[in-house]
Structure 1
Amino acid sequence: MVIHLLAQVDRNILLGFAPQITGELAINNAQYGFLVGAVWVLSYGVMAVFLGALADRHSRPRVIGAGMLVWSACTIASGYVQNFEQMVAARFLVATGEAALVPAATALLMELFSEKRRGTAMGLFYLGIPLGIGCSFLLAGTLGAAHGWRTTFHVLGIAGVVIGLPLILMGDKRSHSTTVQERGAPLKAQLAAVLAEMRDNRVVRYTVAGFVLAHLVYPGISFAQLWIARERGMDPATIAMTMGVMQIVFGSLGALAGGVLSDRLAPRFKGGHASVLALLMLLCAPFMIVYRLVPTDSPLFYVGMAVGIFMLMSLYGSATTAIQGAVPVRMRSTVMGFSMLLLNLFSVAVGTFVVGWISDALTTSGVASPLTHVLLVSDILALVLGGAFFYMAARIQRESARSLPAMGIKV
Structure 2
Amino acid sequence: MNSQIALEKDDTPGTSSISSVYGNRGRTIMLLVFLTLLNILNFADRFLMQGFAVDMIHDLQLSNLEFTLLTGFVFTTFYTMMGLFMGALADRIHRPRLIAIGIFSWSALTAATGFANNFMQLSLLRMFTGVGEATLTPAALGLLGDRFKPHHRAFAAGFYYLGAPIGIGMAFIIAGTLGAAIGWRNCFFTLGAIGVVLTGFLLFLREPREEQQAKQAASKRPITAIYKEILQTLRASRALCLLILGGVLVIFAQGTFVLDQLWLVQERHMNQKSAQQLAGIMFISGGVLGSLLGGYLADLLQARRIGGRLWFLALIYLLGVPVGYIYRLLDTTGMAFYICMFIGSMMITIGYGPIFACLQDLVPAQLRSTMTAFMILCMTLFGTSLGNLTVGGLADVFRAASDSAPITKAVMVGMTPWLLAIPCFVLAARMMENKAELHD
Q: After superposition, give the CA deviation of every residue in 1:29-81 in whole Å (9 maximum; x if it has no partner).
A: 46544433332122212211111111111122121111112112223333455
Question: What amino acid does structure 2 have at the position aligned with 1:165?
Answer: G
Question: What amino acid does structure 2 have at the position aligned with 1:205?
Answer: C
Question: What amino acid does structure 2 have at the position aligned with 1:310?
Answer: M
For residue 92 of structure 2, the aligned residue among 53, 57, 60 is 57
Residues 31 and 351 of structure 1, relative CA distance in 2, 3 Å threshold: closer
1:408 aligned partner: none
Where do 5+ consecutive residues of structure 1 fail to align? 406-411
For residue 139 of structure 2, the aligned residue among 104, 109, 134 is 104
For residue 395 of structure 1, the aligned residue among 412, 419, 430 is 430
Q: 1:164, CA displacement in angstroms?
A: 1.9
TM-score by length of 2: 0.81
Written as runs of structure 1 = structure 2, the 5 A alignment for 1:87-236 is 87-147=122-182, 149-168=184-203, 170=205, 172-176=207-211, 178=213, 185-232=221-268, 234-236=270-272
Residues 217 and 62 of structure 1, relative CA distance in 2, 3 Å threshold: same
Alpha-carbon contact 1:258-1:315 (below 8 Å) kept: yes
Alpha-carbon contact 1:59-1:175 (below 8 Å) kept: no
For residue 307 of structure 1, the aligned residue among 343, 346, 350 is 343
d(CA) in 1 for partners of 2:430 and 2:107? 44
d(CA) in 1 for partners of 2:126 and 2:409? 33
Question: What amino acid does structure 2 have at the position aligned with 1:54?
Answer: L
Q: 1:129, CA displacement in angstroms?
A: 1.2
Residues 400 and 62 of structure 1, relative CA distance in 2, 3 Å threshold: same
What SS does structure 1 have at the residue aligned with 2:151?
coil
Where do 5+ consecutive residues of structure 2 fail to align? 1-35
TM-score by length of 1: 0.87
The 10-residue stretch of structure 1 (242-251 or 206-215) with the greater mean CA deviation from structure 2: 242-251
Question: What amino acid does structure 2 have at the position aligned with 1:116?
Answer: H
Residues 134 and 362 of structure 1, relative CA distance in 2, 3 Å threshold: closer
The 10-residue stretch of structure 1 (385-394 or 340-349) with the greater mean CA deviation from structure 2: 340-349
Question: What amino acid does structure 1 have at the position aligned with 2:155?
Answer: T
Residues 219 and 22 of structure 1, relative CA distance in 2, 3 Å threshold: closer
Alpha-carbon contact 1:66-1:168 (below 8 Å) kept: no
Question: What amino acid does structure 1 have at the position aligned with 2:90?
Answer: A
Residues 86 and 316 of structure 1, relative CA distance in 2, 3 Å threshold: same
What SS does structure 2 have at the residue aligned with 1:292?
helix
Provide the aligned length of Structure 1 versus Structure 2.
403
2:6 aligned partner: none
Residues 19 and 304 of structure 1, relative CA distance in 2, 3 Å threshold: closer
The 10-residue stretch of structure 1 (69-78 or 181-190) with the greater mean CA deviation from structure 2: 181-190
Q: 1:125, CA displacement in angstroms?
A: 0.9
d(CA) in 2 for partners of 1:245 and 1:71? 25
Residues 369 and 390 of structure 1, relative CA distance in 2, 3 Å threshold: same
What is the percent sequence identity of the aligned residues?
Answer: 35
d(CA) in 2 for partners of 1:382 and 1:225? 21
Q: 1:310, CA displacement in angstroms?
A: 0.7
Q: 1:327, CA displacement in angstroms?
A: 0.2
**Aligned-CA RMSD value:** 2.9
Q: 1:359, CA displacement in angstroms?
A: 4.5
